[in-house]
Structure 1
């Protein structure tokens, strides 16, 4: 099994990179574990307080469960992937059965900051993007997917997203084996990744 970690700031284009990689590989060869599925359940606190949670802080994630799941997949075991709602800031009751495949991609802003998780990865990638481009994507995404208005997005960006990026995300770039600027638009980097994966699949 080949385990690839793809990190980068919010709105950097990580998901696009993952999608481009999957599109170029045989169907059923790749499993994606999104960091977003492993946010802690916050159903025990009022909704108003939940909406103030800093999702760009390592404490918001249940890394222990993600490490356990990745370890189980390496052993050939099926896992139950949690589901998470950004609207209610809680975990869903339903889970998704995920079976081991030849390639597992772990994707998320904070994944390179956890030592146990890093040690399970064969390749670590950091998707880099200009701060203005990331903010533009965050505004669009949060309005469409998370029911926020522009003022809420900008306030959150100023208070939590930007400071957390500088403190917890940007420094993890040093752990990356490969830094991909321009996200999913970097065709050369995507092709190199595809070749690397195919070489490992053929072994």
Structure 2
């Protein structure tokens, strides 16, 4: 490895924040951007992986977890990992076990990359995370579409009933969205309507990221 390679590796990665409510299409947007770059130059960090470890709590207490509240996330660990990746060091990304409502024993080894996509419902709520982002996106989708997508996902992928999904949405998801997620829209550099179906917005984002990379002489 020559001196030029060392300089490139030491450059701070570009961090792209992709936020939005549950069912907004933010994950689709994040993956669409991700697949536009070589795997060796980009990585995805999901905020969902950083739900707090609850192994110290009995199951009945874990079942009460409000996953749509900022306190559900271990942002201190997420920030630590982002700083380490920014220094060119690998991290062990946690894996969350939804069946047991706590962090799994296994982790995922993550190597540093030129571009980091940070995706999650609450990533714009924490000012420390916002300060680390080069570009902040908010995927904005009508509430009726979000609840329909959530219904389909939870019924087909998580074995939930229609009643349980609706009950959770009205009691927790919707009020938490209005209190904590919707207000973070004001922090976004770009608001993307209609999620992953907005190919124009995705193409513009990819072009912008490539421009920043070129300016930083990373390509």
Q: Give the match for residue 96 of structure 1.
A: 108
Q: Distance in 1 between matches of 2:166 and 2:86?
A: 40
RMSD: 1.1
Equivalent residues of 2:34, 2:44 under 8 A apart: no
Report the counterpart of residue 20 of structure 1 in structure 2.
Answer: 32
Whether contact under 8 Å (1:87, 1:146) holds in the other structure is no
**Relative to structure 1, is the Cα distance of residues 88 and 34 closer, same or farther in structure 2, using a 3 angstrom cutoff?**
same
Question: Structure 2 stretches of 5 or more lacking a match?
Answer: 1-12
| Residue 41 of structure 1, CA deviation | 1.6
How far 1:150 sits from its partner (Å)? 1.4
- Bigger Rg over Cα: 2
In the TM superposition, residue 26 of structure 1 has moved relative to its aligned partner by 2.1
Distance 1:191 1:129, change over 3 A: same
Within 2, Cα distance between the matches of 1:147 and 1:28?
Answer: 35
User: How far 1:168 sits from its partner (Å)?
Assistant: 0.2
Q: Quick one: structure 1 residues 33 and 138, their matched pair in 2 at CA, closer, same or farther if it must change by over 3 Å? A: same
Q: Does 1:33 align with 2:41?
A: no
1:149 aligns to 2:142 (yes or no): no
Q: 1:159 aligns with which of 147, 162, 171?
A: 171
Aligned to 1:170: 182
Per-residue Cα deviation, 1:72-106 (whole angstroms, up to 9, x for no partner): 10010100000002222111100111011010011
CA distance in 2, matches of 1:75, 1:27: 19
TM-score (norm 1): 0.96
Secondary structure at the residue paired with 1:112?
coil
TM-score between both structures, scaled by the size of structure 2 = 0.89
Looking at structure 2, the residues matched to 166 and 70 of structure 1 have their Cα atoms a distance apart, in angstroms, of 28
What is the CA deviation profile of residues 126-167 of structure 1, one whole-angstrom value per residue up to 9, with x for unaligned ones?
000010110011112222333322111111101110000000
Q: Partners in 2 of 1:62 and 1:43 — Cα distance?
A: 14
Tell me how many residue pairs correspond in the alignment.
203
